[in-house]
Structure 1
């Protein structure tokens, strides 16, 4: 093996795995820090406003440089700006606000388990609106439907059944979890996750219509922050709650904004380019394992039998659904390849174009 082969193997095989493992751990570390800050008195809505405001400020100088360097970018219209406004409403005012309210009532472990329902929720919505056809004679359709049912069943077990306690933790007086309303928190997170799925569909359609992802991200954060600030008197009417002293609350706000804006988006984009969306999605159930370890270690959470069983069932449903999606995509690509080969007047140089279009959709 030559030196160039070793470099290629390290960059394309090892680094994406290390990056996704780092993202998974930092995602759950962020949720654990935020939960600890909420236990110490930081209101969830205050965190959402300050976190997004700081993130938008971090993005601002990069956005100005982006505008100066890219003079040929698409033109902003009222229709596109309205799309950005709706993205901010769905992705921040609904998704993030409900997510962190749910975490305040439950735990990061609950949030990580419910997040694995996103493919199932998206599939259900697509089937209801007839964007997804269900053919019981197709193995991919059966797998997607079965995975959806299994994942939802696991989430119900996770939420409604705790069972005996598996681990007895030594409670830390600083980060001790507050008494939680497990069921209510899970339902709030589920509603927020549903709005997040709608946001993903709309964001995908928006980036196709306006192919300037950095501008989409900036205006999404900007409009979401403005909306949260406008709603802040209703979300958190207590003026003293908006005074954040130095400590765990300030650490949560700075870490959340800097990590989400500076590192996470760039690393995820790079992993998607190198390994594809299926590789990235396969790390999702690992969030539950990391969340359980960090919750038990730092928050004094208790691990119950029902949570462990539910997490395993959710992960099994997730992988079954993803397998069905991969089978359906491969079958569609095979049909397209046959159509291209049989189409008269098309040369071989059109085949890579189809591949690039498929990659751009991801």
Structure 2
């Protein structure tokens, strides 16, 4: 008599994804936090913004290249002039302009303030999509009402952070003391730069669907975008500053910032996000974005002495709550469809 067949083994991939996916997303937010904090220290110490952008993107391209060769072998041959034109535009709108504005805004403000604007990008993208009639609003539906509420709460939180400081909470002594003189005197200018950066990145997300249609290979597309973005920022840097010393880099915080940004905050972050999307869907990674605000506020205060004020705490909580409301409504809307 034959023994009854054993039941099929549990899907190990699904079980591993249950804990690996949130762990991967936590790492992504920590990578974002580290990039912003290191960039603030490097720029505050005098590093030329366009040199940082150029080296970061070229390192990112170098780290993504092996992944592209393994995962999308031979697909580079399918890139024609039409696709190359869209990738050039992709790099210009998605990297050269917004990251230049972001780093100059970071130079004029603080890390905990600048990170807020990265979390407003999904909301800005939604507003642009609605204005361009690329996405319906559905005010009468629960999801539509919640999305509007999330936008209002998040924008309100950002305004509180910008306009109201309140009492400074001296919780601990910072580990480092970077140059922060400009953060107080150029807050308005920095806010304009950061808002412009968020707007351009929102526009960039809107052209991603077109880029993927003309060249549907994400690793080669990302690698070439980083490469082209590096050349674009290098050209802009040479126009603004011809001094060779501005482009020199030694064994210091500047080199650490470049390698960290290229390896962890670009290549590894992209890979983890792509894996999470394949396991949990496109709405999963953004759900963790507000954590970068918490990480940056706390770690920025501990390591580089960013002030924690009553206003920044209230505004940060509102931005996080508003972003979560919006992202939850967005995910729920996809399920309803």
Query: When the two structures are superposed, what TM-score results if normalisation uses the length of structure 2?
Result: 0.89
Pick one of 299, 303, 311 that aligns with 2:304: 299
Pick one of 96, 112, 125 that aligns with 1:122: 125
Pick one of 280, 283, 288 that aligns with 1:283: 288
For 1:235-246, what aligned pairs fall within 5 Å after superposition? Answer: 235-246=240-251
Q: Does 1:231 align with 2:242?
A: no
Contact 2:144 2:329 in 1 (8 A): yes
Q: Work out the CA distance in 2 between the residues paired with 1:74 and 1:46.
A: 31
Q: Does 1:109 align with 2:132?
A: no
Q: Work out the CA distance in 2 between the residues paired with 1:266 and 1:62.
A: 9
* 1:43-92 alpha-carbon deviations (Å, 9 max, x no partner): 2222101111222233445555667x336x77323221110010010111
Question: Aligned in 2, Cα 1:66/1:13: closer, same or farther, shift over 3 Å?
Answer: closer
Question: Aligned in 2, Cα 1:168/1:234: closer, same or farther, shift over 3 Å?
Answer: farther
Pick one of 20, 27, 38 that aligns with 2:32: 27
Partner residue of 2:41?
36
For 1:1-362, what aligned pairs fall within 5 Å after superposition? Answer: 5=10, 7=12, 10-60=15-65, 63=68, 69-70=73-74, 75-172=78-175, 174-175=177-178, 177-180=180-183, 181-332=186-337
* 1:3-47 alpha-carbon deviations (Å, 9 max, x no partner): 955955651211111111122112201211111112222122221
Q: How many residues align?
A: 329
Q: Which has the higher contact order (CA 8 A, sep 6+)?
A: 2
Question: Aligned in 2, Cα 1:70/1:58: closer, same or farther, shift over 3 Å?
Answer: same
Q: Offset at 1:172?
A: 4.5
Could you say what secondary structure the match of 1:137 adopts?
coil
Q: Offset at 1:174?
A: 4.9
* 1:117-137 alpha-carbon deviations (Å, 9 max, x no partner): 112111111111122223332
Q: Work out the CA distance in 2 between the residues paired with 1:8 and 1:215.
A: 26
Question: Aligned in 2, Cα 1:75/1:290: closer, same or farther, shift over 3 Å?
Answer: same
Q: Work out the CA distance in 2 between the residues paired with 1:197 and 1:217.
A: 17
Contact 2:112 2:306 in 1 (8 A): no
Over the residues paired in the alignment, what is the CA RMSD in angstroms? Answer: 2.4
Question: Aligned in 2, Cα 1:295/1:3: closer, same or farther, shift over 3 Å?
Answer: farther
Q: Work out the CA distance in 2 between the residues paired with 1:61 and 1:19.
A: 21
**Structure 1 gap segments, 5+ residues each:** 333-362
**Structure 2 gap segments, 5+ residues each:** 1-6
Q: Work out the CA distance in 2 between the residues paired with 1:6 and 1:93.
A: 43
Partner residue of 2:4?
none
Query: When the two structures are superposed, what TM-score results if normalisation uses the length of structure 1?
Result: 0.83
Partner residue of 2:3?
none
